[in-house]
Structure 1
Amino acid sequence: MDVVSDAISAVRLGHPSSDRIGISGSWCVRLDPYVGAGFAVVLKGSCRLLPDGGDPVSLGVGDVVLLPHGTGHVLTDSRVDPADAPTRTVPFERWLTETGPRDRGETELLCGKYRLDCSRLHPLMAELPRVVHLPNRVGSHPELRAAIDLLAGELDERRPGACVALPSLLDLLFVYVIRSWIDEATSGAWPRVLSDPVAAAALRALHSDPAAPWTTDRLAAEANVSRPTLARRFTTLVGRPPMAYLTWWRLTLAATLLRDTPDTLATIADRVGYGSPYALSHAFEREFGITPGRYRVKVTERSPAA
């Protein structure tokens, strides 16, 4: 596993939802904030997005917009002034139901929502801006464009196997949007981290085998630098020393396994590099303020069905 894959896997819940919507005439909707990430792809026409507390974003054909933190927002026809948006908010799923799929509207959108567990965000995910806007530019992000074309085709034809293909393509879209943001970002810590050969090599090693008996010396050898160089570069870029990051990630991974698997605490302890269930339980409670058993009950009660 790599950092981006692990960061996404740690928060992803169940399957994403999506629909293709066609709208004609003058329209405007204010959507509730939600726990998760929302996205929209403009397949035809144009519209505007106004995030709560942010500036309007004009969207044209082929544009992709991701709201990684579930920010409430207004979606509107380009001819409508966002200042005239309704004050009443509508849940995303209700809007999809009320609007329903339309055949060949003036504006066609692929809209969807990813269900995420935001209680243990990896700093890479936490650093994503409130709105990630990827304009459609010739030659840019070919993988993302291919995923959009495949998604549109699946929604158009609903061929056999669509129930498997659609969630997989939506997950692929999420990865490609985050990857594209990393490639284009001009600020932020984690794009710098992942482009730094020393920090990136150390993170790849830790995420590939978090249960290994890592030491700073061994990790420095993996990154092909001295121990002081690794400690300085990693701490400066990531914001915590290598071994402190490893401890945090092991416990975050343990929380994910408690949420997503029926594995015993002993099995999870072995998978994340702790010598005994007691050692894991002690470290887990110190980090998160709750025992692993109580955490598992809590997340099971609040998690929606997949």
Structure 2
Amino acid sequence: MDVVSDAISAVRLGRASSDRVRTAGTWCVRLDPYEGAGFHVVLAGDCWLLADGGEPVPLATGDAVLLPHGAGHVLADSPVDAAVAARARPLEHYLDGRAAPEPQPGRPAVEMLCGKYRLDRSRVHPLLAELPGVVRLQGGAHGELRSAIALLGGELDARRPGSSIALPSLLDLLLVYMVRASVAGAAPGSWSAALGDPVTAAALQAMHADPAAPWSADRLAAEAGVSRPTLVRRFTPLVGRPPMAYLTWWRLTLAATRLRDTQDSLAAIAAGVGYGSPYALSHAFVREFGTTPGRYRTKITRTPG
């Protein structure tokens, strides 16, 4: 697994949900804050998005927008201000026909795919935590994204055999492309810059590829082809903690994910994340989470996706 894949896998819960929305004329939709990540794909037409506390963002055909922290927002046919936002109707009204505006001359119809990814916010990887509240990606500037949107549109149009498997998989692919593009376009100095530094990236890749290996700072430095002091000097400012501290945090994050998503025994989880015994894992887990692994597993409620 690579860092981006691991960061997404650690917080994903169940499958994404989505609705196809068609509207025209004058319209304004409100979506409340959500414990996950919201997304919209403009399949036809254009519109505007206004996140709570943000600025209006124009969206055109082929564009995708990700709200990685689940911010409440408004979608509308024209630039949105506070007065317009106050008149917004819930999205559900457009889905059940209670707010279906009539087409108007000069105002082309708009078709969107609107949805949500369920996320576990308790252990968000810093790579995802640092993403801005609104990530707008222009389809014309991202070939992979454009292809994914075209495939999504085709599955929605045809509802061909197998679409019940294809659609969730394409939505997962869409999330990867949106996060990948966001990371690639991040400002210098952000955590994602660690992936652009060959020394830091090599150490991260080694840890994520085999978190259970008996890593030491010297062994990680050897993987990156540098001395231990050089690794620490380059790794720590970019990642926000020294290599071995990051490894501990990531191992415990993986343990928490397996406690949440599987019925694996504590011994199996300990071995899988690099601890020599269930006792050693439990001791480190309490230090990090303030509770035992067993109590942590009991408290988690797994809502069906």
TM-score relative to the length of structure 1: 0.93
Q: Is the 8 A contact 1:74 1:82 kept in 2?
A: no
Q: Is the 8 A contact 1:28 1:86 kept in 2?
A: no
- CA shift, 1:191, in A, is 2.6
- CA shift, 1:85, in A, is 2.0
Q: 1:264 & 1:120 partners in 2: Cα distance?
A: 21
- CA shift, 1:82, in A, is 5.2
- CA shift, 1:182, in A, is 1.6
Q: Which residue of 1 aligns with 2:29?
A: 29
Q: Which residue of 2 aligns with 1:59?
A: 59
Q: Which residue of 1 aligns with 2:110?
A: 107
Matched, 1:141 2:142: yes
Q: 1:173 & 1:95 partners in 2: Cα distance?
A: 26
Q: Which residue of 1 aligns with 2:77?
A: 77
Tell me which amino acid in the other structure corresponds to 1:123: P
Q: 2:129 aligns with which of 110, 115, 126?
A: 126
Q: Which residue of 2 aligns with 1:257?
A: 258
Q: Which residue of 1 aligns with 2:14?
A: 14
Q: Is the 8 A contact 1:26 1:79 kept in 2?
A: no
Matched, 1:239 2:240: yes
Q: Which residue of 1 aligns with 2:281?
A: 280
Partner secondary structure for residue 234 of structure 1: helix
Cα separation, partners in 2 of 1:30 and 1:278, compared to 1, 3 Å: same
Q: 1:61-111: per-residue Cα shift (whole Å, max 9, x none)? A: 111110000000011112665532236774x6x3564359x9x97001111
* Stretches (4+) displaced over 4 A: 79-82
Q: Which residue of 2 aligns with 1:98?
A: 96
Cα separation, partners in 2 of 1:201 and 1:180, compared to 1, 3 Å: same
Q: Which moved more, 1:70-79 or 1:242-251?
A: 70-79
CA RMSD of aligned residues (A): 1.8
Q: Which residue of 2 aligns with 1:204?
A: 205
Tell me which amino acid in the other structure corresponds to 1:7: A
Q: 1:88 & 1:106 partners in 2: Cα distance?
A: 18
Q: Is the 8 A contact 2:42 2:60 kept in 1?
A: yes
Tell me which amino acid in the other structure corresponds to 2:187: T
Q: Which moved more, 1:155-164 or 1:79-88?
A: 79-88
Q: Which residue of 2 aligns with 1:297?
A: 298
Task: Give identity over the alignment, percent.
Answer: 67
Q: Which residue of 2 aligns with 1:222?
A: 223
- Any stretches of 5+ residues in structure 1 without a counterpart? none
Partner secondary structure for residue 74 of structure 1: strand
Q: Is the 8 A contact 2:48 2:79 kept in 1?
A: no
Cα separation, partners in 2 of 1:81 and 1:228, compared to 1, 3 Å: closer
TM-score relative to the length of structure 2: 0.93
Q: 1:240 & 1:207 partners in 2: Cα distance?
A: 16
Partner secondary structure for residue 48 of structure 2: strand
- CA shift, 1:128, in A, is 0.8
Q: Which residue of 2 aligns with 1:44?
A: 44
Aligned length: 298
Q: 1:79 & 1:246 partners in 2: Cα distance?
A: 46
